[in-house]
Structures are given as structure tokens and as C-alpha cells.
Amino acid sequence: MRPVAIGLAAVLWLAVGHAAWSAEPSAPPAPVEKSAASPWPDAAATEPAAPTEPAAPVAPAVPVATPAPAAPIPPPPPAPATPQKSALTPDEVYNQWLKDVRLIEINYLRGGDEKQWQAGREKVLAIQDEAALGPLVQVLYGPSARNRGLLIESLGQFAARQSKVALAYLQEIAVGDGSGSHRGRAVEALKTVKDKRPTERLLVHLALDEVGVFRDRAAVALAALDEKRAVRLMVERLSTEEVRWPTAAEVAVQPDFRFQSTGEPKFRHAVVQVAVPGGHASVTVDLPEVDAVDIATTVFNPFRRLPPDIEVVVTRHPDVLAALKTLTGKDFGYDKVACTRWLDTPEGQKIVPAWEPISLTIQ
């Protein structure tokens, strides 16, 4: 009976323990009560319990760390903004444009790379601000004939928009540039003005310029622009008189001096014998003695000057004559009187307008 009682006690303990473990896994197993009917002491207290596999411990819940939001990356500091040219003084605007144009010239127009030069040309032609005209002229108008041609092209764009500053620069280039092709391109750019072509500066050069070459170039440009107001000025400039005072020439004078220098006379007694009939006679006389020195010399005198002669030089200007023929269709040669008489005829008055003062605004 003892083995049977032990077996029943073990089954009962396992059943109760399993129920308790299933209900509350984390609570300790409930104690087994002694059976009143069994005379035997509690087997669980005297016999070791059958070994059971311990349940795997449940690991406590580990909170999943939520990644903290990344701190926002601060934006890079803004580059210092270039001040708007409209907010600058005129001098500051000029200096800013001068810097920009000079950078274009340095980075693109120098060297022999054709692609770079064409890129620089596009940048220059893209400039539309009239305040950049002065810097453009300062940077591009120099020894490089190609850069000067680019400047004329840019000025032509401004001239098409009636820029008075660009028109003034083109007139000066039409007179002062050393290249005939560039002067011609400047005149062609002036032709783009349809209403009233600007010729005031050319007229002033023709009337007042003291350099004959500039007067001739102005006449050629005025004829190309069909400026009839220039006819009377051209008549006056067909030939010019110039009074010259040649420099007085130095004359080397070489006077020839010849003379004698004598000292004080001295007297001495001398016996002179003279033949006489029947004999001779002796006479004592006093003879003078003088020390004489002959002087012959040439003296150079460089301080003598000839007085200057006034010269009147008449110069004829064939370029002015050709321009006059183009504007009037007449050829009077260099005869100013004949040209003036023709201007007073009805035919001349029909072709050439009446004279009017030249109005020029210096900018």
C-alpha cells in the first residue's frame, strides 16, 4: 500500500502544481494539504519530488529606444549680397561696372582661345545698362583692334535705343580712331538712327579742330551721313592758310682783323755822304726808328642771328573736296568764291539748307 500512496500523492501534487502554474506563472506553487484519510506523513515533505524542467525565465520587457530626431542642419551663412546698382552713388556704380567689365576682359578676351573670346563677346553684348558705357570704353578702347571692334558693336546696340552717350562716343571714334575700318563701322552705327542723325560733334570737329587730319575725317563721315548742313563749313575748309614763323637761323660770323701796332719813335744821328763836284760832302741827319708789329687774325662770333621771315602756307584738302562733291553733286575745285556764289543761287539754296548755329551739349 505504501508505494500506491506515494504514487497518488505525486500525481495529486503534479496536478495541483500544474494548475497553479498555468493560472499564475509568476506565483509560487500552492502548498499541498495533507489528506485526512491518509495515515502516512506527507510524502512531499519526506520524499524528494520528481525533478521537473524549470520554465524558461521570461525576460523583462526592454523598452525599444526610439531614435531621437536628428538635429536640423543649420543652413550655410548667406554670401554677402552684391548691393543693387540702383542703390549706389554714380561713382560707386561706375566702379562696380568697371570691375565687372575688366573681369570679362581678363577672363575671356585675353589670350588666343576663340571660344573664350566669343563667350566674352556675348557677355559684353548682354550688358544693357547705360551706366556701363563709360567702363566699357575705358576697358575695351585700347591697343587691341578686335576689342575696339567689339566696343563699336556694343555702342551700336545702345545707339539703336537712342542712347545719347553712345552716339557721342561713336562720333568721336568716327574721327579719332586710327583704323579706317573702325571709323567706317562707327559711321554705319550712326546710320541706324532714322529720325535725326547725330552729327553735332562731327560738325564741331570740321569747324574748330586744329588738326587737319581730324577735319578731313569729319568731312568724310558727314558726307556718308548725308549731312547737308556741313556744306558751308566744307567750303571754308577746302583749303587752309597757316602762318608760320621759322626759327631764326644762327649765322657764324668770322670777321678778319688786320692792323699794325707801333711804338714810340726814337731818333738816331746818321752821317750821310753826298757827292759834289770836285769831291764829296758829309751831312749829319736824325733818322726816326719805330717798332711796328703786323697783326692778322680771324675771330669767330656765333651770337649773330638773322631775323625770322613770316611764311604763309596754303594747304589743300582733297578729302574735303570729295565730300563736298558727294553732298552737292558739283565740282568747283578749290575755288571758294565759285562755291559760295553757287550756294546763293536757287539751285544751291534748294540743296543746301540755310545756315544755323551748331548746338552741342558736352557730356
Q: Which pTM does this prediction carry?
A: 0.60
Q: Give me the pLDDT at residue 301, please.
A: 57
Average confidence (pLDDT) over 224-229: 94
3-state DSSP assignment of residue 124: helix
Quick: pLDDT tens for 79-122: 444 556 667 899 999 999 999 999 999 999 998 899 999 999 99
Inform me whether the pLDDT recorded for 140 exceeds 60: yes
**What does residue 306 show for φ and ψ, rounded to 5 degrees?**
-85, 140
Mean local confidence (pLDDT), 125-154: 95
State the pLDDT at residue 48.
45
CA 17/CA 49 separation, integer angstroms: 12
Give me the DSSP letters along 65-81.
PPPPPPPPPPPPPPPPP
Cα–Cα distance, 203 to 223 (Å, whole number) = 11
Residue 138 scores a pLDDT above 60? yes
CA 89 to chain centroid, in Å, comes to: 20
